[in-house]
Amino acid sequence: MAYNLAQKLIASHLVAGKMTAGEEIAIRIDQTLTQDATGTMAWLEFEAMGLPRVRTELSVSYVDHNMLQTDFRNADDHRYLQSAAAKYGAYFSRPGNGICHQVHLERFAVPGKTLLGSDSHTPTAGGLGMLAIGAGGLDVAVAMGGGAFYFAMPRIVGVKLIGRLQPWVSAKDIIIELQRRLTVKGGVGKIIEYYGPGVAGLTVPQRATICNMGAELGATTSVFPSDERTRAYLEAQGRGAAWLPLSADPDATYDEYVEIDLDALEPMISLPSSPDNAAPVREVEGTPVGQVCVGSCTNSSYEDLMTVAAILRGRTVHPSVSFTVTPGSKQVYNMIAANGALADLIAAGARILESACGPCIGMGQAPATGTASVRSFNRNFKGRSGTPDDAVYLASPTTCAATALHGVITDPRRLGDPIVIEPPARYLINDNMILPPAENPEDVEIIRGPYIKPVPQARPLPDTLHGRVLLRVGDNITTDHIMPAGAQVLPLRSDIPAIAEYVFWRVDPDFVRRAKEWGGGFVVGGANYGQGSSREHAALAPMYLGLQAVIAKSFARIHHANLVNVAILPLTLVDEADYAGLEQGDELEMREVHAALRAGRPITVHNLTKGTSFQVRYELTPRQVEILLAGGLLNYIRAGGQ
């Protein structure tokens, strides 16, 4: 049987289930990735399982999110993570070593291997031929303990690239064009696999950019073949022995097909406030801009920053623009410092930020009131920047550089002769900021600050669910809406009672008070509820406040799994018209829930306030039903579940 590449990768790691789209499968995980925003809770969950060491081929704990040390809390988390990694057998990437996805691509990613990460942009490593999937922290903790990762077998979308990128057109423009075509819901339940003659013209960092933003399609992951470009990148990283040729069989087929002609592609931009609100740059040229930011895990590679530096060399950033540049890793930072590109950026007026996520997650650099910000990032959800009325655009580093020079959104094709940066024959390799596990783990003491609290216990799902509608929201509610990031909230990641005070903070400031007064209840949502970040805090904190179920039109994959993992019931409306009949404060009741779940039949919801009833269904495997009834994944594992 002919297999496409995604099927080959899954088949080589399959431990349970059949590769039929929609059916539950389980795969063996070779590597895991955690970071400090989600990783502290993942390591606390790993400790709660009582295992002495990680059981993967490789696990890496990164620090790249909670970098602003305005008090002791982030620093305490970093010390905890370093000691936990040393004791339990993981590598530790120290603060300053770089953004997890950029560093993992450089130093650890291996073609043909599986990677599970507690960050939604883990698929970045798909640019190197890995099956790299983002998940909630508890799923990653289970994988660190040697457990399989369970998910529904995705449909495989084949994206055929033909032609070659034209001058001033970049990989970022490819993925923004795909966002425009498929939307933020278009990849749900799917893997995006790239193939065709256009692939050969893309470097590994370019491919990584495309795979990174596949998360904004809602895709399970994205993947490129491992070819001569891949080998050249690994050899330049001093890791040539890790190379393995991988591609789809010649007669492989896909569930869906998309074709992008790179010869015809032009510079693209995502308008506020969704990545799929995309258009050619020329259509919004002239829009005044107050801020431009280059960086994030999407576009902070050596090639990206060298291109920006070459554009800015001998020029000055427009006086109306605050311009920031974030090197994606210490390797990138060292290299642009050594060859003079960093000096060019500084001379042009760039503000150089540390190698971390920074403004992409609202950690500083909030734009001024009423101004537009153009960023080479992956998300532009309303308020994510830290400014409530923000107007954030997403674009390539070349478009960002052109815009920074002119003070208005500018098509980079106006810059004249194209700039071509060739990948280096050898990257500067110095892993002195990556600490290996301790040789004598029994001598390592776990360091816990006062805000590092135990994992809160989920409750077994009651047979009768009764409560009021705490909140009704619309379509495409993100995990940023549910559990905001930013400098005020992120330091509370290891303290669920404290961070729970910010649930739906920017949507409805009274939500937490209402949840406490009403003793929990329900949330009603629209389509694609929970899109965006993998942060399990968007499930853990509502669980702590007593949320019993979410009733929505549809769910994003990772958030759906996170709800199940903490025993919150994710329900979808059988008839979406019933959404209009639900209001905040309605008293709802569901009876004999256990029997319905085990029989796989719809559940009837009684609206006691209005004297009506309607039906809801669910997409739960028998294993997920048992997880819910056990009171979440941690309780299920402790009871001997697999």
Would you state the pLDDT for residue 1? Answer: 86
> Do 62 and 33 touch, CB atoms closer than 8 A?
yes
Would you state the pLDDT for residue 309? Answer: 98
Query: What residues does each domain of the chain span?
Result: 5-261, 268-415, 465-638
* Domain 268-415 annotated CATH 3.30.499.10: yes
Q: pLDDT grade, residue 23 (50/70/90)?
A: very high
% of the chain with per-residue pLDDT over 70? 100
- Whether 139 is catalytic is no
> Do 612 and 588 touch, CB atoms closer than 8 A?
no
- Whether 535 is catalytic is yes
The better pLDDT of the pair 533, 299 is held by 299
The β-bridge partners of 322 are: 291
Q: pLDDT grade, residue 29 (50/70/90)?
A: very high
pLDDT at 530 over 80: yes
Which of these is catalytic: 73, 78, 229, 379?
A: 379
Would you state the pLDDT for residue 622? Answer: 94
Would you state the pLDDT for residue 641? Answer: 78
Would you state the pLDDT for residue 498? Answer: 93
Would you state the pLDDT for residue 491? Answer: 87
Would you state the pLDDT for residue 288? Answer: 98
Separation of alpha carbons 377 and 196, rounded Å: 26
Q: Is 29 helix (H, G, I), strand (E, B) or coil?
A: coil
Would you state the pLDDT for residue 112? Answer: 98
Any alpha helices (H) in 187-287, and if so which ranges? 204-212, 228-236
Angle between helices 204-212 and 228-236 (to 10 degrees): 100
> Do 506 and 388 touch, CB atoms closer than 8 A?
yes
Which of these is catalytic: 13, 493, 535, 560?
A: 535
57-103 pLDDT per residue, tens: 999 999 999 888 888 989 999 999 999 999 999 999 999 999 999 99
> Do 193 and 5 touch, CB atoms closer than 8 A?
yes
573-628 pLDDT per residue, tens: 999 999 999 999 999 999 999 999 999 999 999 999 999 999 999 999 999 999 99
**Is 268-415's fold the same as 465-638's?**
no
Which of these is catalytic: 30, 76, 77, 119?
A: 119
Q: pLDDT grade, residue 477 (50/70/90)?
A: very high
Give the residue carrying structure tokens 């404290």.
498
Separation of alpha carbons 337 and 334, rounded Å: 5
Q: Considering only CA atoms, which of 633, 329, 610 is closest in space to residue 461?
A: 633
Can you read off the two tokens belonging to residue 554?
């549809």
pLDDT at 127 over 90: yes
Q: pLDDT grade, residue 488 (50/70/90)?
A: confident
**What mean pLDDT comes out for the span 128-134?**
98
What is the CATH topology of the domain spanning 465-638?
Aconitase; domain 4 (3.20.19)
Which of these is catalytic: 30, 36, 59, 65?
A: 65
595-606 pLDDT per residue, tens: 999 999 999 999
Residue 302 exposed, middle or buried by CB count within 10 Å (0-12, 13-18, 19+) = buried
> Do 493 and 38 touch, CB atoms closer than 8 A?
yes
227-248 pLDDT per residue, tens: 999 999 999 999 999 999 999 9
Q: Considering only CA atoms, which of 552, 572, 570, 574 is closest in space to residue 562?
A: 570
Q: pLDDT grade, residue 54 (50/70/90)?
A: very high
Q: pLDDT grade, residue 110 (50/70/90)?
A: very high
**What mean pLDDT comes out for the span 138-156?**
97
Give the predicted TM-score (pTM) of the model.
0.95
Q: Is 546 helix (H, G, I), strand (E, B) or coil?
A: coil
What mean pLDDT is reported for the chain? Answer: 96
Handedness of CA 476, 513, 455, 436 (dihedral sign): positive
Separation of alpha carbons 35 and 360, rounded Å: 15
- Whether 247 is catalytic is no
Would you state the pLDDT for residue 626? Answer: 96
pLDDT at 25 over 80: yes
Ramachandran assignment for 601, one of left (phi > 0), alpha (psi -120 to 50 degrees), beta (any other):
beta
- Whether 533 is catalytic is yes
pLDDT at 418 over 90: yes
pLDDT at 457 over 90: no
What is the CATH topology of the domain spanning 5-261?
Aconitase; domain 3 (3.30.499)
Report how far Cα 349 is from the mean position of its chain's Cα atoms. 31
Cα diameter, the chain: 72
Would you state the pLDDT for residue 454? Answer: 86
